[in-house]
Amino acid sequence: MHQLLDTSDGSEKPQQDVDALIKNMVNEKSKITTQIVNSLVNQQQDALRGIIEDFEEKEKARLEEALLSESGQQQLALRTFKVQLNKQNERINTLQMNIEQTQNKKEQKKNSALEIKQQHDQLQEELEQIENQTKNIDPEALKRVQALVAEYEAAKKEETELRAKYRKERDELEQENAKLEARLQASPDADSAENERMKQIEEQYQLVSDRLQKQRLAMAKKVREISALSRRIDDIPSANELAQYRQAFFQLYNQSAVLYRQTKQNYTLYNTFTDMIDYMTKEIMLIESINEGYPQAILSANGKEHFLKQLEGIVESVKQNRTKTEKRQQGEKSKRDILNIQFQQLIEKARQYAKVLKDFQEAIRENEHLTSKSK
């Protein structure tokens, strides 16, 4: 019996560890790690396993003693054993409940850690979005907007102070007016000086009301001016937007240039094929006329002579057309050479412009850098 009680005292050590850990968590608000929970669960399992083994050994020993002892001792031992067994069962249930509570606390801490991580990630994303938005804002426009907002806040604060001041004065005047009315009702035969003072107070109250109305109108006008300036500032494109517009214009210009070049090539090819068709049609008609006139021309000497003269005229006409075509070709070649020279000059100017633009941008950046350093 003493051995069983010693065993139950030894099994209280894991429970003391659990209680100490919970107390430490409450006092220091520490976090439960997975290793701590696993160690506690393993300790509880080891304690349960030891209790069960001790219980089996004690049960076996008591059965042996029961066989050897008398009936009264057996009943006493049986009652004692039942009491100890109930205590051990209660202890086991308590340990199991502690294990379940520890696991529940672990899950709660894990869920709270996940929620905190999600909130941190969300705040990090919002911070990155705000940083990206502030990068695209023009510094000059931002300064102007900040100045306008500060002016608006100052005007708003001034309006609040004036309202409080005028409200206080109005309350005082109303109280004084109520007192005067009470005095007038109490003494209807008051002197004219009191009536004059009452009129002055009413006039002063009217002046204060007029001033308050003027301040409200001035405040509304200032708010409209600030809104108009804000819209004008928003309408002005920033440096990044101008760069995007310029890039889009360059892309459109390149696309239109490519489309124009393709269209011009198609027109040139169409005109060339049309000229070839015309020349081939004329050639076919000439060959057909020669073929039709040749059988009749060879019947007589005059016919042969006339036929040869016609052929010579046709050949001369072809030579003239060829000469004209060659002249036109030479003229087109000279125009092409002139255009090529002009194109090369324009390319050189474009290179110079790009170089000057690059130098100008570098000078602007250097100026901004020096200006920021001087500030």
Q: What is the pLDDT along the chain (375 residues), one digit of tens a residue?
A: 333 334 444 444 545 555 555 555 444 444 445 555 556 555 556 666 677 777 777 766 666 665 555 555 556 666 777 777 777 778 787 877 878 887 788 788 778 778 887 877 787 787 777 667 666 666 676 677 777 778 878 888 888 888 888 888 888 888 877 777 776 666 555 556 667 777 788 888 888 888 888 888 888 888 888 888 888 877 777 778 778 888 888 899 889 989 999 999 999 899 989 988 988 998 898 888 888 878 877 788 887 888 888 888 888 888 898 899 899 889 999 999 999 999 999 999 989 998 998 899 899 888 888 888 876
Q: What is the pLDDT of residue 99?
A: 80
Distance CA 111, CA 98 (A): 20
Tokens of 85: 């067994």
Q: What is the pLDDT of residue 3?
A: 39
Q: Evaluate whether 208 touches 170 at the Cβ level (below 8 Å).
A: yes
Distance CA 150, CA 169 (A): 28
Q: What is the pLDDT of residue 187?
A: 56
Residue 239 neighbours by CB under 8 Å, 6+ apart: 138
Question: Among 56, 53, 46, 55, which residue's Cα sits nearest to residue 15?
Answer: 46
Tokens of 198: 């009452």
Q: What is the pLDDT of residue 11?
A: 45
Q: What is the pLDDT of residue 274?
A: 92
Q: Is 276 exposed, middle or buried (0-12, 13-18, 19+ CB in 10 A)?
A: exposed
Q: Evaluate whether 3 touches 58 at the Cβ level (below 8 Å).
A: yes
Q: What is the pLDDT of residue 262?
A: 93
Distance CA 36, CA 106 (A): 10
* Residue that the structure tokens 């996940």 belong to: 114
DSSP state of 181: H
Q: Where are the domains of the chain?
A: 2-135, 139-235
